[in-house]
């Protein structure tokens, strides 16, 4: 049995269904699970997603659920529960052989037979953001300085992109999940200044700590705005090819907003005029999102009791008297050593609650280890 799952709040359900529809076309024997990291919304007809399994975050085991909800914002929480979903799927489907995670803003364009073959030999499959060192982009559209800038950003966010992760059912995969769960329970923050970027930076360790890990070196996997500079697409008898020699397995539409159809990604300098090779992909993806009720679902607020503000670029910060503090949280963290000694304990407790200071040491956990602070 092979399972693919994604994680999203209600606002991303249209993207999740679009992913599921594409998977059903190329891998009809796979089970697709939408991990709903949200509460059920009475305004949504979930029968629209009846062809797929919806597994709510309220149905899975989270050892420190309340603490994680109070510590994390929505994006952090959605990424932090990822290893727990892998474990929940194993519990629900004891005969599962392979489990594959894909971000909801992804579409499948080929069967996963190669992934299945690789998982017979390797416990963990990863895709890096980039595959090669480049002096210039393959399309000659980006200056060398821009390439260096983007490589520097990847140093901050992680070598591997966690929009894809595949595991088999081996003991090594189980050890990896245990290791990852322990870290994401407390340290899945968007805090590059503290060496954390959601769930992603931790995976830099995986090829060293877990010898069964395999880094996929085919440019057909996880094509996205950050690696378009090394990948060109073309069609061949109705199928997409990458750099002429490789099948396109899946495309990651990270940062794409169908209400702004002229923009490849809010984080990319590329335009469709510069990259006409990807225009058919995005046109079809926009059509599929519209069919799957994107405009109705995209604006829905999360129903989870999360209080931390979203990181810059992931949504509007909350409106309120402490808006400026929320926006400048990262800058204020850097001052914590200077101001901590000047503050009384009540004010320091308030600041810790809003993650403007590091958390006070917590009681030891059930396994007898001191619980790490949320700041790292």
pLDDT given at position 319: 29
Check whether 88 has a pLDDT greater than 60. yes
Cα–Cα separations (whole angstroms), residue 104 to 34, 63, 199, 251: 9, 25, 16, 11
User: Model confidence over 89-148: pLDDT tens digits?
Assistant: 999 999 999 999 999 999 999 999 999 999 999 999 999 999 988 777 777 777 666 776
CA–CA gap between residue 365 and residue 371 (Å, rounded) = 6
In 3-state terms, what secondary structure has residue 116?
Answer: helix
Rounded percentage of the chain residues whose pLDDT exceeds 70? 81
Identify the band that residue 317 occupies on the pLDDT scale cut at 50, 70 and 90.
very low
- Greater confidence (326 vs 34) lies with 34
For domain 2-297, give the CATH number.
3.90.550.10
Q: Which residue has the tokens 């000047």?
A: 342
Mean of per-residue pLDDT scores for the chain = 84
Q: What is the pLDDT of residue 356?
A: 56
- Of the two residues 136 and 245, the one the predictor is more confident about is 245
Give CA–CA dist 143/149, Å, rounded. Answer: 10
**Residue carrying the six token digits 């503290």:** 194
Higher-pLDDT residue of 236, 45: 45
- Residue with more model confidence, 363 or 139: 139
Q: Answer whether residue 345 shows pLDDT above 70.
A: no
Please determine, for residue 362, whether its predicted confidence score (pLDDT) is greater than 80: no
As a whole number, mean pLDDT of residues 318-333 equals 35
How sure is the predictor about 373, in pLDDT bands with cuts at 50, 70 and 90? very low
Would the pLDDT of 84 be above 70? yes
**Maximum average pLDDT range among 54-68, 105-119, 230-244, 266-280:** 105-119
Q: Where are the alpha helices (DSSP H) in 101-212?
A: 113-119, 144-157, 171-186, 206-209
pLDDT value, residue 349: 62
Q: Are 7 and 102 in contact (CB under 8 A)?
A: no
Q: Determine the Cα–Cα distance for residues 107 and 286; give it in Å rounded to an integer.
A: 11
Lowest pLDDT segment from 11-15, 35-39, 142-146, 355-359: 355-359
Domain(s) of CATH 3.90.550.10: residues in the chain: 2-297
Please say if the pLDDT value at position 283 is more than 50.
yes
Residues belonging to the chain = 376
- Beta-carbon count within 10 A of 77 CB: 24
pTM for this entry: 0.82
> Which of 195, 256, 182 minimizes the C-alpha distance to 223?
256
CB atoms closer than 10 angstroms to residue 210: 16
| Inter-residue contact 267 to 239 (CB < 8 Å) | no
The predicted pLDDT at position 348 comes to: 57
For residue range 28-75, what is the model confidence (pLDDT) as tens digits? 999 999 999 999 999 999 999 999 999 999 999 998 899 899 889 999
User: Would you state the pLDDT for residue 195?
Assistant: 82
Give the pLDDT confidence score for residue 81 in this predicted structure. Answer: 95
Query: Alpha carbon of 287 to those of 82, 257, 261, 279: distances in Å?
Result: 29, 12, 11, 12
């Amino acid at each position: 049995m092979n399972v693919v799952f994604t994680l999203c709040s209600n606002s991303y359900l249209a993207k999740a269904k679009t992913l599921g529809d594409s998977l059903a076309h190329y891998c009809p024997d796979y089970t697709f699970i939408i991990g709903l990291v949200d509460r059920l919304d009475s305004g949504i007809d979930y029968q629209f997603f009846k062809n797929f399994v919806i597994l709510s975050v309220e149905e899975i085991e989270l050892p420190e659920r309340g603490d994680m909800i109070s510590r994390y914002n929505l994006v952090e929480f959605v990424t932090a529960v990822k290893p727990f979903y892998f474990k929940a799927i194993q519990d629900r489907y004891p005969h599962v052989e392979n489990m594959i995670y894909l971000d909801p803003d992804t579409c499948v364009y080929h069967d996963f037979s190669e992934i299945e073959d690789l998982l017979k030999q390797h416990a963990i499959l990863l895709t890096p953001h980039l595959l090669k060192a480049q002096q210039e982009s393959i399309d000659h559209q980006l200056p060398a300085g821009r390439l260096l800038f983007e490589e520097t950003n990847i140093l901050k966010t992680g070598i591997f992109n966690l929009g894809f992760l595949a595991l088999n059912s081996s003991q090594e995969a189980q050890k990896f999940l245990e290791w990852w769960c322990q870290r994401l329970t407390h340290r899945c923050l968007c805090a590059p200044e503290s060496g954390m970027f959601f769930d992603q930076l931790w995976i830099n360790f995986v090829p060293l700590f877990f010898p069964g890990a395999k880094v996929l070196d085919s440019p057909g996997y996880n094509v996205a705005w950050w690696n378009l500079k090394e990948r060109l697409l073309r069609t061949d008898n109705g199928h997409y090819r990458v750099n002429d020699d490789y099948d396109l397995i899946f495309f990651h539409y990270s940062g794409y907003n169908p209400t702004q159809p002229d923009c490849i990604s809010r984080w990319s300098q590329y335009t469709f005029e510069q990259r006409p090779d990807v225009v058919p992909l995005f046109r079809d993806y926009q059509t599929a999102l519209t069919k799957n009720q994107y405009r109705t679902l995209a604006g829905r607020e999360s129903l989870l009791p999360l209080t931390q503000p979203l990181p810059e670029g992931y949504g509007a910060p909350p409106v309120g008297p402490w808006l400026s503090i929320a926006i400048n949280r990262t800058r204020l963290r850097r001052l914590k050593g200077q101001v901590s000694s000047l503050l009384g304990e009540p004010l320091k407790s308030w600041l810790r609650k809003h993650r403007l200071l590091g958390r006070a040491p917590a009681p030891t956990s059930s396994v007898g280890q001191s619980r790490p602070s949320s700041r790292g």
